Amino acid sequence: MTATIALTGAFEAGAQTSPADGAETRASEQLLHYNHAYAVVDRETADAIENSDYLREFANFEVRTTTGGGLTWTGRYLYGAETYIEFFGEGDLPGADALYGASGLGVSTEHAGDLATVTDRLRDLGIEEPAPYRQTRDFGDGVRVPWFDTIRTTSDLYDAFDAWSMEYLPEYFADPRGNTGPESYPGDVSAARYLSDDYQDHQLRDVTQLHLGVPERDLATTVPLLEAGGYDVETRGNGTVVVNDGTTTIRLDPVPLDEVGLRGLQFSLNDATGTRHVEEIGRSTLTVGPGARAVWTFDAPE
């Protein structure tokens, strides 16, 4: 596996897609937006992320154990204003999800009811039986609170990459333990409402680029979901898929199963910095600045 795949320039011309490009077309069609992604990294890197003092200064960072849908997991989270990223180490999750390189992508609605429209669009695209699932959350008292609804293009098991669309539920926003914000408009179920404003006290603002290597079969089932969500899907000659929702560019490379995994991330910052800081975190390198962005690249285990 190729080590240290730099994100700088990795998205080529598509990397700097302006939110204004095609905005009139997407304004009425874009129903799904990047919410978060997760990645299983090697144990050394996972432990380094978990124990990094720098990350706690750089981002609204949390190591959290969550119980939902009958499962319990511990993730390492970096939260932004509207987006976030979640890390697991090898062995942290059950089954094949515990293997190095496993990853997932959640794209979410901003208006209540849009997930039903996405489902209808999937059927129009030939996905006859979209797979629904309701996720719940247990805050520790044994009572499951409805959290969000999801739709996938298939109920078949994925090889190493799980992609889903999601819509937060009114019951979750109504529960004070969720610490969510008020509606900014009628039917507001956006990630901005779900996430806290604590990002303002740190440098990291949002995830602006995500680069993953994923199995070809998983990528094939992901494309209709992105199309149904209103993404303008660019498929390159090598099969790479690139999409952009105006905030986050997602690049998915089709690779063999033994080459899957997180390649890199790019973040926007709340304020530009005139210096360049390089932080080695396990088998990864986070470069912050100069300017108002940070790039995080990941090495493959030896």
Q: Torsion angle of alpha carbons 144, 195, 93, 255, nearest 10°?
A: 130
* 28 pLDDT higher than 50: no
- What are 224-267's pLDDT values in tens digits? 999 999 999 999 999 999 999 999 999 999 999 999 999 999 99
Is the separation of the CB atoms in 37 and 210 below 8 Å? Answer: yes
Q: Tell me the average pLDDT across 109-117.
A: 98
Cα gap 296→210, rounded to integer Å: 10
Which among 268, 267, 285, 210 is positioned nearest to 240, based on CA atoms?
Answer: 210
Candidates 229, 94, 242, 113; CA nearest to 164 is: 229
Beta bridge partners of 209: 249, 266
Contact criterion met (CB below 8 Å) for 281 and 61: no
Question: Degrees (nearest 5) of the Cα angle 205, 58, 92?
Answer: 95
What pTM does this model have? 0.90
- Amino acid (one-letter) located at 189: V
For the residues 266-294, what does the mean pLDDT come to? 98
